[in-house]
Chains A and B, each alone.
Chain A
């Protein structure tokens, strides 16, 4: 297959062609030619005003629910959602049933996703059954292709086990991912503890639940001299702690969800379970601090925390509703609203470059002779995120019907071209 991209703005931070406008010819999945003008007839010719391309985007924390919860999402539908959101690569969490806690489970994911247009990289569980009691076989999972290790939505509570996990992965230069949440403090809460939880009569999750686990983990990280990535950081205080730890030289990195950059606890006034997430939506000051931390580089990358819930999982009393929201397809448009003063290049660094550096994944190159792993997008266009355009099996997004800014237009990866847009 021959694909011709016309007048594409190349956004590839750190690469030779960054910032140029060029035609690209992609043939059988390889970038054959890049020039000011190419006049070859392709099977597909993509010509569109304000067409931007960048190395394919990567999401570092998504739930594809497969195996076990395929009614919410599976690898195929998850990959479609990712492609529609402009992602060519997704790191998925091990909170499946059974959990991704052994070589067999990791190999299942890798084998089953081989034919998909998106690279799916499974995380292995830190602990057996995600129970936080005994270490899972991380070394072997690493050998089988596990990209990192995490207990996903069940952050490890035991200090002793977490210390051992940080030490254990050093054998193969592995990295641990943790949502900072001390469940002993937050477990009965339904939303962020603050003025709104008090007014709404809802049990709160105190901010210190996040601060305490984060501080503890940083101490363990310092002791073990290992590598740790926090995801879903949601507080000003968390950002301050991570900034200080980085300054001290610890190998710590972090990611934020798009929704923590835009929504606050005020959104819960109608007890709408679509806003039920963990870590919970925080306060206005936290949003501003997170945005600044992204700009400053304290926050390294974006994690969608794409957590599908079917209609029945959400359409119930707030207390009983499942946590999380889908996020792959709305990610770029939400970032466009939340991070208005970031340049396109900075956004591409957040979405395509930094995470790959952290997790040791090669960054796709836009140059002649390279395999095409490319995201096509328009950073300026405003559009409505419609429910009937959602590719995920689940539709639990608070952004349905909202106007977003910046739209993914498609991906080219593994010799496949995936797009919904007409060119």
Chain B
């Protein structure tokens, strides 16, 4: 059964069957990654461009590794969105690359909806690696995949998403992904970092009290404070943020149960997470990173529409 979509633009467009298919495929690739030879020839004749208009290290590396494990030919293109703003248009940039016979575009861009726009103007398939504050679908998939791995299922689980919800594409994609799988979601953060219509628009609980959210949840997905995406000061200081919205060992020990801690990285230690939490056994942050490669292999494989050859 193929995916219901040609591009992976956002979790918003996926069905539950799509999500399950990606997870099942990722299970197989995760097994491949444990073999002594971690490479399969699946995408041997596929050329993929990683088009990053916004800085990224870990997402780009994760995609690149996934591409290489699948034997795809890989090119990397890094440009700042501002240089594109001044000069060449996005369509021209991409068509120039596609003219060299590229099959698949992985794109990160600072403008919301940029991959959706591009998908209407080019032939190749697109995987969204993050667009503005809108979506970051592969991150949400790997987060849910990690919850599923740790707790057996996502359905019925309670997930708190902590921090800067307004400027987080990770939050948006996670909410769509978790809700589609039947999880309950609470978002928690300072009121200035939570969109006004969050509860109504997305069907989530909203609270400004971290302890209350942590008492409620099975999993806390803690977001990075996105200082670079805020247009004006939205909280007083990192110090005060840490005091009221940072997760400390003491806070976790005071809860009535042991919850799982996740973070999409990179961590601001001492801001949203203290080190004694980030490095604790409750944290599955590094498993998330590991699963990221398997999830991205699954997405690339399914989007490229090839048959598994392993």
Return B187 CB to nearest CB of chain A, in Å. Answer: 11
Evaluate contact between B197 and A202: CB separation under 8 angstroms.
Answer: no
Return A59 CB to nearest CB of chain B, in Å. Answer: 31
Evaluate contact between B201 and A195: CB separation under 8 angstroms.
Answer: yes
Q: Does B307 contact A (CB under 8 A)?
A: no
Which of A11-19, A158-166, A313-321 lies on the face that meets chain B?
A313-321
Return B14 CB to nearest CB of chain A, in Å. Answer: 15
Evaluate contact between B197 and A317: CB separation under 8 angstroms.
Answer: no
A273 surroundings in chain B (CB, below 8 A): 117
B251 surroundings in chain A (CB, below 8 A): none
Evaluate contact between B198 and A198: CB separation under 8 angstroms.
Answer: yes
Residue from the list A190, A198, A206 in contact with B201, Cβ < 8 A: A198
Q: Does B70 contact A (CB under 8 A)?
A: no
Q: Answer whether A271 and B113 are a contact pair too, CB < 8 Å, given A193-B197, A195-B197, A198-B198.
A: yes
Within 8 A of A (CB), among B144-176: 169, 172
Q: Does B134 contact A (CB under 8 A)?
A: yes
Q: Does A201 contact B (CB under 8 A)?
A: yes
| Assembly CA distance A320 to B90 (angstroms) | 11
Return A284 CB to nearest CB of chain B, in Å. Answer: 15
Residue ID in chain B nearest A195 by CB atoms:
B201
Evaluate contact between B197 and A319: CB separation under 8 angstroms.
Answer: no
Q: Answer whether A190 and B89 are a contact pair too, CB < 8 Å, given A201-B133, A202-B134.
A: no
| Assembly CA distance A201 to B120 (angstroms) | 19
Evaluate contact between B112 and A312: CB separation under 8 angstroms.
Answer: no
Evaluate contact between B112 and A201: CB separation under 8 angstroms.
Answer: yes
Tell me how many residues of A have a C-beta within 8 Å of chain B. Answer: 25
Evaluate contact between A318 and B89: CB separation under 8 angstroms.
Answer: no
Evaluate contact between A203 and B133: CB separation under 8 angstroms.
Answer: yes
Return B193 CB to nearest CB of chain A, in Å. Answer: 13
B135 surroundings in chain A (CB, below 8 A): 201
| Assembly CA distance A270 to B117 (angstroms) | 8
Return A26 CB to nearest CB of chain B, in Å. Answer: 48
A312 surroundings in chain B (CB, below 8 A): 89
| Assembly CA distance A320 to B109 (angstroms) | 12
A200 surroundings in chain B (CB, below 8 A): 112-113, 134
Q: Does B211 contact A (CB under 8 A)?
A: no
Return B179 CB to nearest CB of chain A, in Å. Answer: 12
| Assembly CA distance A273 to B113 (angstroms) | 10
A-B pairs with CB below 8 Å: how many?
Answer: 76
Chain A 258-292 interface mask (CB, 8 Å, partner B; 1/0): 00000000000011010000000000000000000
| Assembly CA distance A312 to B131 (angstroms) | 21
Chain B 105-142 interface mask (CB, 8 Å, partner A; 1/0): 00001111110110011000000000111110000000
Evaluate contact between B132 and A271: CB separation under 8 angstroms.
Answer: no
Q: Answer whether A201 and B132 are a contact pair too, CB < 8 Å, given A317-B111, A317-B114, A318-B112.
A: yes
B231 surroundings in chain A (CB, below 8 A): 188
Evaluate contact between A202 and B112: CB separation under 8 angstroms.
Answer: yes
A197 surroundings in chain B (CB, below 8 A): 195, 197
Evaluate contact between B201 and A199: CB separation under 8 angstroms.
Answer: yes
| Assembly CA distance A21 to B138 (angstroms) | 67
- A188, A190, A197, A316 interface centre (most CB from chain B within 10 Å): A316
Residue ID in chain A nearest B118 by CB atoms:
A317
Chain B 76-113 interface mask (CB, 8 Å, partner A; 1/0): 00000000010001110000000000000000011111
Tell me how many residues of B have a C-beta within 8 Å of chain A. Answer: 30
Residue ID in chain B nearest A191 by CB atoms:
B112
Evaluate contact between A190 and B112: CB separation under 8 angstroms.
Answer: yes
| Assembly CA distance A74 to B85 (angstroms) | 26
A190 surroundings in chain B (CB, below 8 A): 112
Return A367 CB to nearest CB of chain B, in Å. Answer: 53
Residue ID in chain B nearest A268 by CB atoms:
B113
Residue from the list B111, B195, B198, B201 in contact with A320, Cβ < 8 A: B111
Evaluate contact between A316 and B89: CB separation under 8 angstroms.
Answer: yes
| Assembly CA distance A266 to B111 (angstroms) | 19
A203 surroundings in chain B (CB, below 8 A): 112, 133
| Assembly CA distance A240 to B131 (angstroms) | 38
Q: Does B6 contact A (CB under 8 A)?
A: no
Residue from the list A198, A201, A315 in contact with B197, Cβ < 8 A: A198
Evaluate contact between B90 and A316: CB separation under 8 angstroms.
Answer: yes
Within 8 A of B (CB), among A182-236: 188, 190, 193-204, 206
Return A266 CB to nearest CB of chain B, in Å. Answer: 12
B91 surroundings in chain A (CB, below 8 A): 315-316
B111 surroundings in chain A (CB, below 8 A): 317-320
Q: Does B202 contact A (CB under 8 A)?
A: yes
Residue ID in chain A nearest B232 by CB atoms:
A188
A271 surroundings in chain B (CB, below 8 A): 112-113, 116-117
Evaluate contact between A206 and B172: CB separation under 8 angstroms.
Answer: no
Return A371 CB to nearest CB of chain B, in Å. Answer: 48
Evaluate contact between A195 and B134: CB separation under 8 angstroms.
Answer: no
Q: Does B196 contact A (CB under 8 A)?
A: yes
Residue ID in chain A nearest B196 by CB atoms:
A193
- A193, A198, A201, A319 interface centre (most CB from chain B within 10 Å): A201
Return A372 CB to nearest CB of chain B, in Å. Answer: 47
Return A191 CB to nearest CB of chain B, in Å. Answer: 10
Residue from the list B89, B109, B112, B116 in contact with A315, Cβ < 8 A: B89
Return A190 CB to nearest CB of chain B, in Å. Answer: 7
- Residue contacts A-B, CB under 8 angstroms, 15 given: A190-B112, A198-B201, A199-B201, A199-B202, A201-B133, A203-B112, A312-B89, A316-B90, A317-B109, A317-B117, A318-B111, A319-B111, A319-B112, A319-B113, A320-B111
- In the A-B complex, list the 9 residue pairs whose CB atoms are closest, starting with the nearest: A201-B134, A271-B113, A198-B201, A317-B111, A319-B111, A195-B201, A317-B114, A271-B116, A198-B197
Beyond the given pairs A201-B172, A273-B117, A319-B110, 20 more chain A to chain B contacts, judged by CB atoms under 8 angstroms and listed by A's residue number, are A194-B201, A197-B197, A198-B195, A198-B196, A198-B197, A198-B201, A199-B202, A201-B132, A201-B169, A202-B112, A202-B132, A204-B196, A271-B117, A312-B89, A315-B89, A317-B90, A318-B112, A318-B114, A319-B111, A319-B132
